[in-house]
Structure 1
Amino acid sequence: MNIVKFSLLCLVLASCIACSTSNTALGNNTNSAPTESLYVEMGQQAALDKIVDNLINIIGQDEIIFSHFADSNVSHFRKKLTLFLCQISDGPCQYNGDSMQDIHRGMQINTNQFNHFVELFIAAMDASGIAYPTQNKLLARLAPLRKNIIKI
């Protein structure tokens, strides 16, 4: 067999072996376990509790946003926000509170205030040690709520 035919045969054989190798090596294994939920990726209940506690502390020191929360029942807010974040991140919780539209009705929240709150929420996630890619996944799930909150 000449060298060209041998090289061609080796190339074809290598291609066949590569195609027959399990898809796992290529990251395409359809039989693998499902990817973990965002809830698990974030760190489950302990992480949610930490995020919400950090957020409450940050809001308490913020002169732009605090006025919207000044008359809030902090323990009720903590419980409902934690349940909401748990559900939206595919955790085992069932949020049973009011809709975001109902909660924010009459608050006259403008775009700057909303954006500032998002910055505070990101700071709370940072302080809780949540990785940026995970933060982005959670923010992507929360983003559609924007239209129900901003009224000015």
Structure 2
Amino acid sequence: MASKWYGMGVVVVGVTAVLAGCADTGGVKGAVQPVAGITATKTLYERLGGKSAITAVVDQFVANVAADRRINSRFASTDIPKLKGHLVDQVCQATGGPCTYQGRDMKRTHLGMQISSADFGALVQDLVAALDAFHVPAGEKSELLGMLGSMKKDIVELP
């Protein structure tokens, strides 16, 4: 059961990691580079308020999932402190922060769990509630939710 809780929780941050990773030019020739003397736009990590703010949202998100009868049975045997640590690191890294997520990729993590679209939707609703509880601005919330939506294909196995 622990792997199911870990897997579902990692969903949220996994999405952000994938999309944020896509933003890295990796030294690709022709990629847009910052111009000296011009202040770059703040990263999503900075706009969210850094690691302490991400930690607070993750704590609330995990509490929401634990109270959610639609999906909480999947997480009955989860190591909650470990899960929270992975989630914080993954969101931190994915949003441009200094953390390093060292967990598994989303497809491998969720393979065989038979996660449905309804399960995924419940998880997203729990995340939205956590973001709303901390008054995360609409733009930042949309970025995070967009990242989550893009991971659905790697997580959901059932209609």
Which whole-Å deviations, capped at 9, do the CAs of 1:105-142 have from their partners, x for residues lacking one? 22211111101110111101111221121100112223
Q: How far apart, CA to CA, are the structure 1 residues paired with 2:81 and 2:128?
A: 21
Q: Secondary structure at the match of 1:82?
A: helix
Between 38-47 and 136-145, report the one with greater CA deviation: 136-145
Q: Match of 1:68, as an amino acid? A: R
**Matched residue of 1:36: which SS?**
coil
User: Within the alignment, does 1:49 sit opposite 2:58 as a pair?
Assistant: no
* Residues 88, 141 of structure 1: 8 Å contact kept: no
Whether 2:154 is the aligned partner of 1:148: answer yes
The secondary structure found in structure 2 opposite 1:64 is coil
| Greater RCO, CA 8 A, separation 6+ | 2
Structure whose CA Rg is larger:
1
CA RMSD, 1 decimal: 1.6
My pick for the range that moved more, 88-97 or 33-42, is 88-97
Structure 1's consecutive aligned runs of 4 or more residues displaced over 2 angstroms after TM superposition are 29-32
Corresponding residue of 1:63: 69
The amino acid that maps onto 1:38 is L
Unaligned runs of 5+ in 1: 1-28
Q: Deviations over 1:68-122 (max 9, x none)?
A: 2112110111000111111111111111111112222222111111011101111
**TM-score of the two chains, using structure 1 as the length reference:** 0.76
In structure 2, stretches of 5+ residues that fail to align are 1-34
Aligned to 1:132: 138
- TM-score with structure 2 length normalisation? 0.73
Report 1:5-20 matches (<5 A): none
CA separation in 2, counterparts of 1:128 and 1:74? 21
Equivalent residue pairs, number: 124
Distance 1:44 1:65 in 2: 29
Q: In 2 relative to 1, CA 102–46 (structure 1 residues): closer, same or farther, beyond 3 Å?
A: same
